[in-house]
Amino acid sequence: MSMSFRRLCWLFCCPPCTRSIASMIAFCPPDPTYTLIPDKSRSRWTLQLSERAEWQYSAREMRDIECFMTKTSRGNRIACMFVRCSPNAKYTQLFSHGNGCDLGQMSSIYIALASLLNCNIFSYDYSGYGASSGKPTETNMYADIDAAWTALRTRYGIPPEDIIIYGQSIGTVASVDLAARYKSAAVILHSPFTSGIRIAFPNKKKTCCLDAFPSIDKISQITSPVLIIHGMEDKIAPFSHGLTLFERCQRPVEPLWLEGAGHNDVYVYEEYYERLEQFITQELGNL
């Protein structure tokens, strides 16, 4: 997620201010870094990555990735990716990525996280991203994660108590919305923000009808344990947003406030991986 303060002010504060305009600016789909090639029955799809995907592994790891397409309630077809690190993994993360990448760019990160945490990862591209059809909008995003949740439950038979809902940046909006409606093993919010207007106006107290992405009004409805990870030098979604959401959680766990980290560099901090591993492999079973 990357935009200037000036653009945010125009987006969320200057009339005409609509949720559709917010979606146009908040979503920044890259040129696709992969293609999906179906077999004759369209039951299996072959993943082909471009050089821009920056794949860091061998063909052996590629065999651990399964891709397919599924349809949303709004008629779009979205690309899904299942990274299976181990047949005996207890948990599967339903991962909603940030606004400036697609599944191809995230594939190497998913392999690394899955291997480190012994946790399968299921992800998807928002409408208008990668191989997914349609346009990226707030409403489509909610339908996208609903379709991903349903596919994960029905195609792989994974029960809610074994699913960790994980959102990064704009993906936290979809994750909070889903987690407020369905109970899961846990929720992880990586660099979240409270709402669109509150990025431009941090002291805004009430949510107006035109405010986009209002996670602040939904997070208290989540009954699953919530881990929040936030860089304390985040200039896009300031640290105060993560703290505010933390204070509104029903079941917060010890957060990770990363000193020196910004919005897009949380992955480079060793503490990030240590906190995830501790939470998933040690704490979660006792909650």
In degrees rounded to 5, what are phi and psi of residue 229?
A: -120, 125
Question: Which is catalytic among the residues 132, 146, 234, 241?
Answer: 234
Known active-site residue 217: no
Burial class of residue 259 in the structure, from the number of CB atoms within 10 Å of its CB (0-12 exposed, 13-18 middle, 19+ buried): exposed
Whether 230 sits among the annotated catalytic residues: the reply is no
Tokens 């805004």 belong to: 204
Instruction: Please confirm, yes or no, whether 234 is among the known catalytic residues.
Output: yes
Q: Which of 96, 169, 175, 224 is catalytic?
A: 169
Active-site positions read 169, 234, 263
